Amino acid sequence: MTSRFRHVALIGKYQASGARAQADARDGVMETIGTFLESQGCKVFVERSTCDEVDADAPAHPRYEALSVEEIGQRCDLGLVVGGDGTMLGIGRQLASYGIPLIGINRGRLGFITDIPLDNFQATLIPMLAGEYEEDHRSLMHAQVMRDGVSVFDALAMNDVVVNRGATSGMVELRVSVGRHFVANQRADGLIIATPTGSTAYALSAGGPLLHPAVPGWVLVPIAPHTLSNRPVLLPDADEIVIELVGGRDASANFDMQSLASLAIGDRVVVRRSDFRVRFLHPKGWSYFDTLRKKLHWNEGGS
């Protein structure tokens, strides 16, 4: 088969330790995948920080041109991400505005969004590169921290936006509005706004429901609420959600657990649906429920 993708960016593990990045170089994983892509007729590039994380005395990919994320967006028609779900979250947010599809190869345990095992990547990728795949679009949230009417922090999130109490403080009090409607003042350890992608992350551990990726909604999940009748709420993603910090010390807001903003009393975290979505490609026949069964160990021990 001939690949329908002509220019492919090979993207390694973001925020990996130097030791792990050097190990990746020594065991030849990226080189093996790059060679395979070339055998399928692809021109291979490497995301620049993948090279930067490797010891300069032993460059991992001297034969592949290194590109910035912006250059990948402008010059490539596929991103092949090697790592885990955190790796995919990081690059997915950055490339969403370019509309480039992403395929995830997982180096460790099966991920929710990096779902191709490393030990079987060749057999899985050959038909996918030829155009036989399932396409899966994931929504993004655009979040801002507003202080005295001015945006002091701006971020995209694929999983969730979380407002948390300080590590050594008590509960926070949060005023929650959805659309133009006041919902409630909530006292809790925090509050999670999760996309369908993020419904299997922190929101799940806090008691939230699973949302299928095709559902155009968000889930609002309180963390250890003072009033036990405060339960998770499913919301349409067309509505703007505003969380105002009314009380509590050392509170913060984090976005996909990868960026953090400190909050002051009166700050408002405003969350809207982004104009961009992330495009994932999966093997033909892929099902979201297959991933849930494998990742959450459903049916184990049953007949």
Answer for the pair 130, 42: CB distance below 8 angstroms, yes or no. no
pLDDT for res 134 = 96
Measure the CA–CA gap between 275 and 280, rounded to whole angstroms.
17
Catalytically annotated residue among 24, 52, 55, 85: 85
pLDDT for res 184 = 96
Measure the CA–CA gap between 249 and 257, rounded to whole angstroms.
20
What single-letter DSSP state applies at residue 110?
Answer: P
Instruction: List Cα–Cα distances, 254 to 154, 161, 165, 217, in angstroms.
Output: 11, 6, 11, 20
Instruction: List Cα–Cα distances, 145 to 92, 152, 168, 214, 269, in angstroms.
Output: 22, 6, 22, 28, 5
Number of H-type helices and E-type strands within the chain: 8, 18
Answer for the pair 146, 252: CB distance below 8 angstroms, yes or no. no
85 belongs to the catalytic site? yes
For the chain, 303 residues long, give each residue's pLDDT as a single digit of tens: 668 999 999 998 644 444 344 445 445 888 899 999 999 999 999 999 876 544 343 444 567 999 999 999 999 999 999 999 999 999 999 999 999 999 999 987 778 999 899 988 999 999 999 999 999 999 999 999 999 999 999 999 999 999 999 887 789 999 999 998 999 999 999 999 999 999 999 999 999 999 999 999 999 999 999 998 999 999 999 999 999 999 998 999 999 999 999 999 999 999 999 999 999 999 999 999 999 998 998 987 654
- The residue length of the chain stands at 303
Domains of the chain: 7-131 (3.40.50.10330), 141-274 (2.60.200.30)
DSSP sequence for 93-109: HHHGGGT-EEEEEESSS
Instruction: List Cα–Cα distances, 266 to 45, 95, 125, 178, 259, in angstroms.
Output: 46, 33, 50, 17, 21
pLDDT for res 301 = 65
